[in-house]
Structure 1
């Protein structure tokens, strides 16, 4: 039999939920044009920098078209310069120079278009990250939308998880979040709330919360299931061990120890639960002495004596004493 005085203690409310890991940046690298793969510059799982060349597509026809466009642009530029000189000498009409300028500008635009077309045949990493499995090989024909590889920035990952709308007012950016994964038993990672969604799901009455976690070693991968615990502001709460709380039907009570060491049932209202503790919202005051364990043997009016219980004298005083020599 154990008793203790109940006193307020520091307590952090927490919200438990299941979340999914998402990469900070994630994309499936694809081609923009239909062309044959000339060379692949990466292997599966490579870490690449932003702008690094991943795949080169064949572009012989485009290279030839570019050389022709550059030659036409050079000729148009020379014609324009020559026309400018002739206008200065008043040998041709000034209106002619406008035609030559338009021809030159059109040739320049054609060169730019050819260069852009060739640029589309060099596929680069849009940001730094880790590549997934390679999906193409040299000689393969790719078309717009053909998956070449996945690319994920895993330096920081996001974990999205739902929170009931009734807790919406208590969530704010910057709050600490702790996560754990079945892939790493016993390990906990710490992050922080980055943003709370602007909408509540009308079907689940929950709001999506996004937390950011540093990810050294790329241990957390997109798609992983994470158990998250969102800590809220610290407050004072009257917490008692859950084993001290008795539930009988709809009645909830603890055993309060009176000044004469007898016990009585004290109906209580519970708040949050966690870490083997239960919050008493109503029913007892700070400093109240209650029975922590051994409650299964207690009845109202029993007396606690040095860790054991016995019937109170008021309940046994009228019991007749057995006469000496009486038969049992």
Structure 2
């Protein structure tokens, strides 16, 4: 009985030693060195297009339309007369005011010459000057009333649909048409306020819309709103987009990418990232030991791009991290480096083929 117990203890000890030896064998892994690489941070958002200048043209007086000088969607220039209204009375009043002004001017100049010759008093000259200035003011007032009977384009642009016809009676506030300056479009973008620190004028914008076949348009931020919406916790950012071909229209919904200037950042392959709860880790290889060992290191990460993530703290340029085989590793595990990745997202089959090629090369060298 005693010998049987001793035999069992010896057997268990041998099994423990064998398992320990198996566990201490280097674990095959694939690795990649981390380096500083150019990284462009992107913020995705939605925006609405607005014309560079936009106005709804309407009348300031109650009058009848006598002439229309534009068609739907016609391009006009600043100063073009678009609509004329009844103005016969104002034209007659303008002629009367012009005649009165000319007569008042002649009387004023005549008295001026008499005063210089001491043949008239200065008080008479003052009376003539007041009469002249009053006539001048009445003439300008009549000109203004006549101008109110004309609808004039305030800037270059394209008019919208015509809402009136000749003979229509319009009143103040009645919409006649719209006028948009679409040479440059304003893009108002709603951005979460958490990105406020990264927003500034001059930041590049890349936008697309289904209405224009998802073609991309490049622009830049020109201004940032002074207030944050207290309900949505977002802020309005305004960018400008060139529109030489007039493909963009006011009111379009745009999908926007805000692109920060490229910066050198330490990029970690996504395969090397180990997520445990809210913490992120990577296994860093210590090649000074034989066999190499790994250190499980906590990381602070930032933005992502396909296949890689920015490391803000926890790694140094040139350090080697494990990309494949991380699930079998613990802090201090010894490893056997099978191959090293040359670029992000390199398929594992390529690494295996690289390892096989290296082994065949070593075998042929030994045979020679």
Normalised TM-score (structure 1): 0.78
The aligned runs of 1:56-67 (5 Å cut-off) are 56-67=84-95
* 1:217 aligned onto 2:245: yes
Instruction: Identify which range, 120-129 or 71-80, moves more after superposition.
Output: 71-80
* Structure 2 residue matching 1:233: 3-state secondary structure: coil
Alignment of 1:136-215 (within 5 A): 136-215=164-243
User: 1:173 Cα deviation (Å)?
Assistant: 2.3
2:60 is paired with a residue whose SS is coil
Q: 1:303 to 1:88 in 2, by over 3 A?
A: closer
1: CA distance, partners of 2:276 / 2:329? 13
Structure-2 change in CA distance of 1:224 and 1:292 (3 Å): farther
Which structure shows the bigger proportion of residues in helix conformation?
2
Separation (CA, whole Å) in 1 of partners of 2:161 and 2:336: 70
Gaps of 5+ in 1: 309-328
Q: Secondary structure of the equivalent of 1:218?
A: coil
Q: Which residue of 1 aligns with 2:301?
A: 270
Q: Which has the larger radius of gyration?
A: 2
What secondary structure, in the 3-state scheme, does the structure 2 residue paired with 1:187 have? Answer: coil
Structure 1 match to 2:136: 108
Cα offset for 1:302? 9.4
Contact 1:9 1:237 in 2 (8 A): yes
Number of equivalences: 307
Pick the structure with more strand per residue: 1
Cα distance, 1:242 vs. partner? 3.2
What is the rounded CA distance, in whole Å, between the counterparts of 1:303 and 1:220 in structure 2? 58
Residue 86 of structure 1: how far off its partner (Å):
7.0
Q: Describe the shift of the 1:288–1:59 C-alpha distance in structure 2 as closer, same or farther (beyond 3 A).
A: same
Is 1:286 aligned with 2:317?
yes
Aligned residue for 1:223, secondary structure, equals: coil
Within 2, Cα distance between the matches of 1:137 and 1:124?
17
The answer on whether the counterparts of 2:30 and 2:338 sit within 8 Å (CA) in structure 1 is: no
Using the TM superposition, give the Cα deviation of residue 57 of structure 1 relative to its aligned residue in structure 2, in angstroms: 1.1
Uncovered stretches (5+) of structure 2, i.e. residues with no partner: 1-28, 340-347, 349-368
Please list, as runs of the form range in 1=range in 2, the aligned pairs for 1:311-326 lying within 5 A after superposition: none
Give the conservation status (yes or no) of the 8 Å contact 2:269–2:323.
yes
- SS of 2:212's partner is coil
Judge conservation of contact 1:177–1:231 (CA < 8 Å) in 2.
yes
**Offset at residue 64 of structure 1 (A):** 1.9
**How far 1:251 moved relative to its partner?**
4.1
Which residue does 2:261 correspond to in 1? 233
Q: Find the counterpart in structure 1 of residue 67 from structure 2.
A: 39
Q: How does 1:14-163 map to 2 (within 5 A)?
A: 14-80=42-108, 95-163=123-191
Shifted more, 204-213 versus 8-17: the winner is: 204-213
Write out per-residue CA displacement over residues 185-231 of structure 1, whole angstroms, 9 at most, x where no aligned residue.
Answer: 44222112212334444444444322222112112222222222222
Distance 1:83 1:251, change over 3 A: closer
Which digits, 9 at most, give the CA deviation of each residue in 1:236-274, with x for residues without a partner?
222234354343433433455665478776543321123
CA contact (8 A) 1:263 1:304 kept: no
Deviates more, 1:256-265 or 1:214-223: 256-265
User: What are the equivalent positions in structure 2 for 1:232-251 lying under 5 Å apart?
Assistant: 232-251=260-279
CA RMSD of aligned residues (A): 3.3
